Amino acid sequence: MVQRIRLIIQEDIDPRIDQITSFSSRGPVQWVDPNGVTQTLQKPDIVAPGAVICAARFKGIQGRQLCVDDKHVLISGTSMAAPMVSGAAALVREAHPDWTPQQVKDYLKSIALDLGYPEHVQGAGRLDLSSLGLSQSRLHNLGGAVTGNLILRFEKLESDGWVIQKKVFEGSVNVAAGGSVALDQYWNGQGIKASEKGKYRVIAIYDPDNGADVMGSFEFEVV
């Protein structure tokens, strides 16, 4: 029994493994309302790295392993995972200042990495910042399934700003409910010559409701 406990602890303290630790809270959450009815709320919504995180050392903390220098220590728990999710939410809000808190939440859940655990253990999955970094190159749909016209407009950075070069794609595109579509499957740089050095971008305009809306862009450079 002692040996088994040691193995579990060793697995828990390895942050390189996408593992739900033994001390991570499981759902669902249940409570009895004022009317005596048991209510159930599915939790967690999402999980994030929270084991053995190198964090700033606060005054008076003792018995923690140092990391980087004597001003940082390894800490585990919700206090480490929560800032990662809130930071990701801030990045989403920066990119989409008009989104509601619910839209931000739904988006983070939609790009989470499925770790293969039950929903009451991992929620939608592990927060995936790599997907967040690529979010500008995808069409994201937070509502029901839609079909609309997609235009990809190719532009080049000149001394006086971005100059439209040509339209590289236009066509009908379906986006599943709560899903996303990678823009590079419709254009991935075809037609750009190696001699045409400079910075370029592709602007995506998606029109599902007869009202054009710039959804995002992706940039690249020919050097």
Question: What is the predicted pLDDT for the residue at 120?
Answer: 93
Where are the chain's structural domains? 24-133, 137-222
Q: What is the DSSP string of 146-166?
A: EEEEEEEEEEEEETTEEEEEE
pLDDT digits (tens, 9 = 90+) for 121-145: 999 999 987 655 434 566 666 667 7
Question: What is the predicted pLDDT for the residue at 167?
Answer: 81
Q: Which residues of the chain have pLDDT under 50?
A: 1-10, 133-135, 210-214, 223
**Level-2 CATH architecture, domain 137-222:** Sandwich (2.60)
Instruction: Report the CATH superfamily, name and number, of domain 24-133.
Output: Peptidase S8/S53 domain (3.40.50.200)
Question: What is the predicted pLDDT for the residue at 9?
Answer: 43
Question: What is the predicted pLDDT for the residue at 220?
Answer: 55
Name every residue whose Cβ is closer than 8 Å to that of residue 183 and which is 6 or more positions away in sequence.
Answer: 137, 138, 139, 152, 202, 204, 216, 218
Task: Count the neighbouring beta carbons within 10 Å of the beta carbon of residue 197.
Answer: 9
CA-to-CA dists, residue 67 to 41, 53, 54, 219, angstroms: 38, 9, 6, 36
Question: What is the predicted pLDDT for the residue at 100?
Answer: 87
pTM over 0.75: no
Question: What is the predicted pLDDT for the residue at 12?
Answer: 59
